[in-house]
Amino acid sequence: MKRRLAVLLLLSLLITGCWDRTELEDRAYVMLLGIDTGETSSLAVTAMLALTPSLTPSIMGGIVQPGRRMASALMTVEAETVTQAMQILNGMTSRRVDLRQVRAALFGEALARQGIAEVVSELIRSPDARETMLVSLAQGRAETVLRTIKPVSEINPARMVEGIGMQAKYLHLAPPVRLHQFATRMSVGGIDPVLPVLAVNTNPLGDGGEAPAPSAGPGELKRVSENPIDFVGTAIFRGDELTGTLTIDETQMLLALRGEMGKAYFSVFDPVQTSRQASLRLHQENLPQYRTAMIGNRPAVTVRILFEGEVLASPTGIDYSQEADRKRLERSIATYTERTIQQLVGKLTVWEADPVGFGLKFRRQFSTTPAWDAFSWPDRVSTMAVKVTVDARVRRYGLILAPIRAHPTER
Amino acid sequence: MNDRERIDADSLAVATLTVMLTQSFHAVLLGSLWVGETAAWIAMLISGLGALLFYWPVARQIAARRGGNLLDVAADAAGAPGEILTGVLFGAFSLHHCGLILRQTAEMAVSTVYPHTPQTFAMGTVAVCSVYCAYGGLPAAVRAARLFLPVFAFSLLLILVGALGWADFDYLFPVWGPGIPRVLAGTPLLMVWLWPMLATFYLAPDQVREPRSLPKQAAIAILVTTLAYALQKVELLMVIPWPQGRSNLFPLHQLTRLVTGGRFFERIESVWVFLWTFGTAMHVGLLLHLSARAFAQSFRMPSFRPALVPLSVLLLTVALFPHDVAESITMDMSKAPAGLAIIFIWPLLLAGVAAWRRRRRASGEA
């Protein structure tokens, strides 16, 4: 028997056919997919195709062309479905358009406001498109973002989008979201999905515009760069429909409420010199503690969050390792984060969206689905009362305790 | 049959466990989600324990006839007609089950990693492998299962652990899904998912070396399978929650798509094609063998092997009968009441009558 099995296994290596072979030379791989509302059809689909004939592999996993020119081409077509768009694209290329290498999909704002369940469902149904692809919202049109994007430290725009998606996992300027996670949170009652936002920057340095806000939203970063695309902020959905966007600080607090913040960089106004800011790295050590109750017909949530901080910059020259100043800073962090969370909750109740998953905490208290459905959580989000207590503790000060001061000089 | 051709009770239990685990990749378990929703894993546990309750009295009656099987119990209870009826019912139901499994495997291969392969070709290949397994007989199937189980169990564990990063505990609530009455009402029909295991334990004891130890080994195998399936359901519900999961045809395949370990260890679902194919061949092979034996014993054929030829044709006919994979799943669900009657009610009835007649005979002799 063992000998027969061994022969069968060996044979299976020798008799591999070429029935389902996929030749690289015959394929046009889509790396990024932009999906917008169309003018004549339901969708306008923009595909960023890898120009495989002139590609050479780079060490960092990106795909570059000699001479550092773009290794991709953009094509936009209008269609009723993504599949139909791929069919039309097939009629425009000599290679077969293939979705198996899609790194990220961008949904246009107008489409997201209408609802993206149908498109998400189509992508999930497809055996080619991966559930692990990153998904984002494009502020404005996805096509515009894809045509504007100019990678700075990458050659390949798809690698760039994937890279900033991965970076979001550590820096929390925007939440990294995969297609599977979006589909799951869209279909489960008690939580709403979110997307990171890609936006064309409208607030460049030196244009004499407004002073930088303490926390920027999508497209509002005060900066100069070759790449005009910002990858900050969060798009909030109610079911599958876009309701609004959050700033960086609100994004970080949203992740903190979900227990997903990990470590994030943060700046708060100095408690003594209120015009200057101190920069810290906040670390969420424990999961937030929730208590839920019904006060009359109103759902009430009490959340307790613990942050541990590390001082990274103290431009005011205050030595925060001294107990009195440290406690002042801790109070300042707690006050600022509590206020940001209340501001976030205020937005969510207006939008009637629950990206935190407060509903999931209530759902645990129901023993059956019909009872939970009768509770009608989406209708109660707007009446929800959330009380937040933040406990901030500054524990580390980088490599020096007190700021280094310059020698006093007489002028 | 000489003693060398017989198999150990624990080997048979291991073989059935392997066969049951191969079923994890098929859509036959979708019913637990429809019945239990978020309580699918509880429904799974209850149905497994319920099946054990039904199995135990029948197993004792079979074990009491050393070297016999359910058909002998049927002969004791209702004479030759009872034996023939039982053999035909078990044979036909096993064949139907095999046909649907075969169809679902082919559908899964074509819908996922082999989109350009003609379905009949995929189905034919697996069918040929299955008939080869069935022709080898139970000892061959048991030996193959012993070799296959570690590979399969490890791969299954790898999928479950690899996809754990996507899990969310909150998706398991509300605990009782559609409500306790609905879960309990649907659970009896779910017990039919244990068909391959119970059919083996009912029809194969005559080939077991120490049939008296079989009930205990079988009970352990049923409990282990139930636990393994319940754990699978827990993870599936946490990763692909209800209601998204209710329309997922190949949930375990989707888990393999979600397994990622950096940029190098991903897109590995094709690796599992070998396991699906080999597992299905083993699953269908064992049941086809039992089906052929049931027919052969019922109609007093000297060997089961000639029966394999018409049965393989019927197997392909059943596999090709549903219009699509959705219809094959619907057929699977709709045959559950019949399955319940054949695998649980009918053997229990036979065991009851056989026990009563034995007692009467014993008291008559006294």
What's the pLDDT at A65?
Answer: 47
What is the pLDDT averaged over residues A46-56? 74
Question: Is A255's pLDDT higher than 70?
Answer: yes
pLDDT band at B34 (very low <50, low <70, confident <90, very high): confident
Question: Is A15's pLDDT higher than 70?
Answer: no
What's the pLDDT at A17?
Answer: 62
What is the pLDDT averaged over residues A201-225? 67
Chain A neighbours among B 165-184 (CB < 8 Å)? 166, 168, 170-171, 173-180
> Cβ of A23 under 8 Å from any chain B Cβ?
no
Distance CA A127, CA B110 (A): 10
Chain B neighbours among A 303-332 (CB < 8 Å)? none
Residues A132-145 pLDDT 10s: 999 999 999 999 99
Top-confidence residue, A172 or A337: A337
Nearest to A322 by CA among A362, A276, A271, A285: A271
> Cβ of B360 under 8 Å from any chain A Cβ?
no
C-beta atoms of A1 and B140 within 8 A: yes
Residues B299-333 pLDDT 10s: 999 999 999 999 999 999 999 999 988 898 888 88
pLDDT band at A115 (very low <50, low <70, confident <90, very high): very high
What is the pLDDT averaged over residues A311-329? 86
Top-confidence residue, B32 or A211: B32
Task: Specify the amino acid at residue B92.
Answer: A
What is the DSSP annotation of B212-278? GGHHHHHHHHHHHHHHHHHHHHHHHHHHS-TTGGGG-S-HHHHHHHH--BTTTB---GGGHHHHHHH
Q: Is the dihedral of CA B7, B9, B13, B14 positive or negative?
A: negative
Residues B151-182 pLDDT 10s: 888 988 988 998 998 999 999 999 999 999 99
Question: Is A209's pLDDT higher than 60?
Answer: no
pLDDT band at A180 (very low <50, low <70, confident <90, very high): very high
pLDDT band at A50 (very low <50, low <70, confident <90, very high): confident
C-beta atoms of B170 and A363 within 8 A: yes
Q: Which residue has the tokens 């002799």?
A: B365
Rounded to whole angstroms, what are the CA distances from A291 to A358, B247, B340?
10, 34, 45
SS3 A392: strand
SS3 A126: coil
Beta bridge partners of A138: A108, A198
Rounded to whole angstroms, what are the CA distances from B181 to A54, A375, B31?
64, 20, 17
> Cβ of B241 under 8 Å from any chain A Cβ?
yes
C-beta atoms of A19 and B117 within 8 A: yes
What's the pLDDT at A387?
Answer: 94
Residue A127 C-alpha, separation from nearest chain B C-alpha, in angstroms: 6
What token pair was written down for B94?
Answer: 């096993």
Residues B261-280 pLDDT 10s: 766 777 777 777 778 888 88
Question: Is B96's pLDDT higher than 80?
Answer: yes
Residues B222-272 pLDDT 10s: 999 999 999 999 999 999 998 888 888 888 888 888 988 766 777 777 777
C-beta atoms of B175 and A1 within 8 A: no
C-beta atoms of B170 and A184 within 8 A: no
Among A134, A187, A191, the strongest candidate for a mutation testing the B interface, having the largest count of B CBs within 10 A, is A187
What's the pLDDT at A63?
Answer: 47
C-beta atoms of A188 and B37 within 8 A: no
Question: Is A59's pLDDT higher than 60?
Answer: no
What is the pLDDT averaged over residues A200-212? 63
Question: Is B30's pLDDT higher than 90?
Answer: no
Q: What is the DSSP code (8-state) at residue A268? A: E
Which of A220-229, B65-74, B115-124 bottoms out in mean pLDDT, i.e. has the lowest?
A: A220-229
Question: Is B185's pLDDT higher than 80?
Answer: yes
pLDDT band at A60 (very low <50, low <70, confident <90, very high): very low
Q: Which residue has the tokens 């009918």?
A: B346
Among B108, B173, B264, the strongest candidate for a mutation testing the A interface, having the largest count of A CBs within 10 A, is B173
Beta-carbon contacts below 8 Å between A and B: 80
Top-confidence residue, A10 or B102: B102
Question: Is A290's pLDDT higher than 90?
Answer: yes
What's the pLDDT at A123?
Answer: 95
pLDDT band at A205 (very low <50, low <70, confident <90, very high): low
Question: Is A165's pLDDT higher than 80?
Answer: no
> Cβ of A40 under 8 Å from any chain B Cβ?
no
C-beta atoms of B174 and A20 within 8 A: no
Q: What is the mean pLDDT of chain A?
A: 85
C-beta atoms of B114 and A130 within 8 A: no
What's the pLDDT at B270?
Answer: 76
Which of A168-177, B89-98, B171-180, B287-296 bottoms out in mean pLDDT, i.e. has the lowest?
A: A168-177
Residue B218 C-alpha, separation from nearest chain A C-alpha, in angstroms: 25
> Cβ of A292 under 8 Å from any chain B Cβ?
no
**Using DSSP, how many helices (H) and how many strands (E) does chain B show?**
14, 0
